[in-house]
Structure 1
Amino acid sequence: MQTRRTPLVSTTLGTSRELVSFHFGDAGRDGEKVYIQSSLHADETPAMLTAWSLKQRLAALETEGRLRGEVVVVPVANPIGLSQHVLGQFLGRFEANSGQNFNRAFPMPPADALIGRVGARFSPDDAAYNARLVRAALVEMLGEMRAKNEFASLRLALLTLASQADVVLDLHCSLEATMHIYTSPASWPAIEPLARYLGANGVLLATDSGGQSFDEVHALLWNDVRDRLGDKVPLGAPNIAATIEHRGQRDVDYDTAAHDADAIVDYLIARGVIEGGMKDAPPLAQAATPLAGSQQLTAPSSGIVVYRAKVGAVLKAGDAVFDIVDPLTDSVTTVTTSNDGVFYMRRAIRFVHAGAPMGRVTGVVAIRSGVLIGA
């Protein structure tokens, strides 16, 4: 294992932070490289514990000589957010100076510039060679970018670490949730075994959810390059990327983290990154559905929230999801779902204002368009 430390731009006098990455194995010329980071939203601790557990397993597997590729693990992907506490409240989703979401608007170089950097060196018949050219050009272009502040330097460091990976996994969690995954239709065939090993109770598919989140910009860039090159220039497809939502913020325990780390190891064995007997993947808990098909439930009024449905429940249209209780008027308003699907995440607090987002239910029919993910 190699430990690498990337210093971030200092925001104020007398302060400094660094991004720490752990590198296992060696992809060489033909092996796969897998990049895994956790807690880009710094208050999403279940992901961090899973990454820590995975790091222990990878260290042991490397000692046993079982790595056939390279795995990079960044257990603390957001040292900035870890320091943001206001009156005892942990604020890890948004950067305090700018108000920006740590997992939105990642600045990838444009596809046209990337293709122009490679120029006439593309091969007419070697897709793997072309992929190496594009990766090298991407690393060069990221290396030429200059971060003006700590927040921008964190983003640039994370993009650079992941830029040469065949598989990019971004580990998160929701507020109160079942295990679920966000990925693209192009990535889904390669991610499906991981969903099975993890026991994902929901898989949400979108090519472009509109937020330029970390996992999505990698897949989008390669898809864009491929489309612009056309059929005359074959290109290897390192567009496997996904966000893994490790249940809810309070689901922090050793057994759960060990289960998820073992599932990731099983997935890497199945891909040939780790040597070992491949386990049969269990059946998929729920079929993948379009992210545009998920119903976003909102509070029709202010009051006390009483959930009628548990996270992970399979609901039918018309089923009660939650009540809003008004302790002044004694009114009780019941909110139902119009979807048949899984109630895969919900709000963690129990008193809300009118219009507050309350949870989501998967659905097979697209009912939304535009930006599909929240702030």
Structure 2
Amino acid sequence: MLLLLVIIYLAFISLGLPDAVLGSAWPVMRQDVQASVEYAGLIALVVSLGTVVSSLMTVSLIRRFGIGPIVAVSVSLTALALVGFATSQLAWALLCLAVPLGLGAGSVDSALNNFVALHYRAKHMNYLHSFWGVGATAGPLIMANYIALEGGWRQGYWVIASVQWVLVVVLLCALPLWKVAGRSLEDSGSHVTPVVSNRQALAMQGVSLQLLVFFCYCSVELGAGLWSASFLIQERGTLASQAALWVAIYYGGITAGRFVCGAVAQRFSEVIMIRIGAILMVSGAVLLALPVQSWVANMGLLFIGFGCAPVFPNTLHLTPVRFGKGASQAIIGLSMATAYVGNTLVPPAMGLALKHVSFAALPYILLAFALVLFWATERLNQRPPFSDLQTKEGAAHSLT
């Protein structure tokens, strides 16, 4: 299972690679494909819709084909889309290629998160999302390097696509490992085929709270990442270069925080790490809002970044514990779909609100989402483990 875990880590690096590339390349590539500035938002919207659809389909796809083939095909779709981006001459082609890019990403995200939640300890889930951060950081760096060279943004996309194709070959070679792992899990009695549909999962008590957590989480993470630089420049008089540095520090806090969570996962439970994270998110939003020296307020961004670190991976890892292994794939698929909906809708809506009100309102919007997230996580923490719920339900049934 160790070799399979390494391959899963590599898959999450590849998942992060394309995520931030479009934004870094768009100022240059839009001129070559004759597109407007705002067209990138439409491409991102199609990608997000694809991830939502494939996340919701993951349960039925894994049941029919198995996790190994689904991951290999999904990464192949991503690699094909990136090759298309590298060769496209027209804007409408990019819009079409956004469909396989989104479909490939959603299935990998949902399937691998559930597999790790079921079969590995919490530290591995935290490390898994740290490696996504490695990919999300490396993608723009690769693109920036090639934009500065003669090959330009197209060469950057070719390099990232080549990395994806190498991973496709690795995943195809690893297909027997998934079969061996499946047989091993069956022999140990820990392998559970998903038996709960999306509709059944939605009806389960507590699932709506988990979906609310993911919606609020993505609203805070994406909202802070997208609009904090504008807030610092307009409301705090920060120089643009310094504002960009603070945004980088914010994302660095998320990635570093997840490595730290992985290192301390054996000492602290997932519940404690989530609680600390939610408190840090609330504290960071309060710091941003306070009328104090700029550098003190700006530390709020670092607090929010560190706070974001444990919430997403540890809530996913607790899913089988809270709702049962048979329901975990459906619930994680729904959670990822809800996260992608939050990614798609909230940041632009937040931007419209800030434009019509004032960027001074940003910390209060982030604080509202963080407080709701804290409330929802505490409600989830009060739920007994799924095994205890089964015992209570069985006792009640025997009494009737």
User: Which structure: greater strand fraction?
Assistant: 1
Choose between structure 1 and 2 for higher RCO, CA contacts under 8 A separated by at least 6 residues: 2
Task: Give the alignment's TM-score, normalised by structure 1.
Answer: 0.32
Task: Give the alignment's TM-score, normalised by structure 2.
Answer: 0.30
